[in-house]
Amino acid sequence: MTDLFSPLRLGAIELPNRVVMSSLTRNRAGEGNVPTDLMVEYYRQRASAGLILTEASPVCAEGHGYPRTPGIHTAEQIAGWRKVTDAVHAAGGRIAIQLWHVGRISHPDLQPDGAAPVAPSALRPAGQAVTFTGMQDYVTPRALETAEIPGVIAAFAQAAKNAMAAGFDGVEIHGGNGYLVDQFLRSSTNQRSDAYGGSKENRARLLLEIIAAVTAAICNDRVGLRLSPVTPFNDISDTNPQATFDYVVGELNRFDLAFLDILQGTGGSPQEQWLPFDYARLRAIYKGNLILNNGYDFASAQQAIASGAAAAIAFGRALLANPDLVERFRRGAPLNQPDYERLYVGEEKGYTDYPFLPA
C-alpha cells in the first residue's frame, strides 16, 4: 500500500518519502539578505523530509516585503544558499527553493530607494507591514505598467537559473498567499483593463507566462507551483475562486510540472481547512503530482495518500518543531510543539534548538 513512507518521483526529483516540508518564513537571513550558517543548520536538521521547500526567497530587490528574508538575486545570496544545499545533500536530503515577489505587501522602507511597492492595481491593502523600525501601515502601491511586466517575468526566470547555480534540486513558484502572482489572479486585487486584467484568463496570464519562462530556463521537471485558492491572507479574495482556479489548474497540465502544491483553506487552524471549495475537483482536473498542505496530522495524511487525493503532504508547523518528523511518524512518537513567540525572532531559539528523539 502506498503511504507517507513510500518513495515518490516528482519530475526529476526522487523522494525517499512523501513528507514535504512546507515553505515557512523565518526571518533569519544576514546582511544583504544572505543565508547564514544558522540557516544551513536549520535546513540540514530537516533533511530526512522527502523534500524541503525553503522559505520564500525574493527574485529581485523589489520583491522583498519583510526584514531578513533571504533573496536569490545576488551573487552573495547564491553563495549563501549553496552552503544550505550542500549541507542538505550531504545529509541525504532534497531541497527546492520557493521563488517570491511580494508585490504590494511591502513598504517603501523595504524597497530600493524608498519607492512604492508594485502591484497589478493601485489598491492599498488593509493591515501593516513589518519593517526594520516596527509595524507601519501599508501604502498605496504603484500599478505596474504593461511594459514592465516582461521584466517581472524575466526576474523569475533568472532567479530559477540562480537557484540551479546554488545547487537546488528544483524551484517552487509562489503563486499564493496574497503576494504578487496571487494579486494578479484574484479579482479583488486586479482591476486592470489591459491583457493582464478582467477575465480569469487575463488574470492568469502573468502566472502562466512566468511558468513558461521558468520552465524554459531550467526545464519543467524541476519546477513546482504553490496556489492558495481561498486564503484571505494579505487582504485578498476572489468573486469566484472555483472558476478561477479550475481554469488555472487546467492550464497547468500543458506544462507537465514536477508538482502542484495546494494550500487548503485559510492557512489558519485545521478547523478552518474545509471551506466551501471543491479541492477534489482540482485533483480531477490536474494530471500531475499534487501536494496538499494545511492542518494534516499523521492519520489524515496517510488517508489522503492512500486514497489518491494527494501524492504527498506538506507539513509546516510540525516540521518547524520536529526536525525528525519522519522518524517520529514511524515510531508513533509524540511531537514537539512550536514556539510561536520565536517564529520570526530569536536566532537559534525556536529555530535550531528543537530536540530530536533519542537514537
Chain center to CA of 2: 26
- CA-wise closest residue to 82 among 178, 3, 165: 165
C-alpha cell at 236: 485578498
Q: Phi/psi of residue 165, each to 5°? A: -65, -30
Tell me which residue has cell 492512500: 306
Strand partners, 174: 226
Q: Active-site residues: which are they?
A: 179
| CA angle centred on 258, ends 257 and 264, rounded to 5° | 90
Report whether 117 contacts 139 (CB < 8 A). yes
Three cell numbers written together for 279? 479541492
Q: How far apart are CA 127 and CA 136, in angstroms?
A: 9
Q: What is the C-alpha separation between 237 and 95, in angstroms, rounded?
A: 31
DSSP 8-state secondary structure symbol assigned to residue 118: E
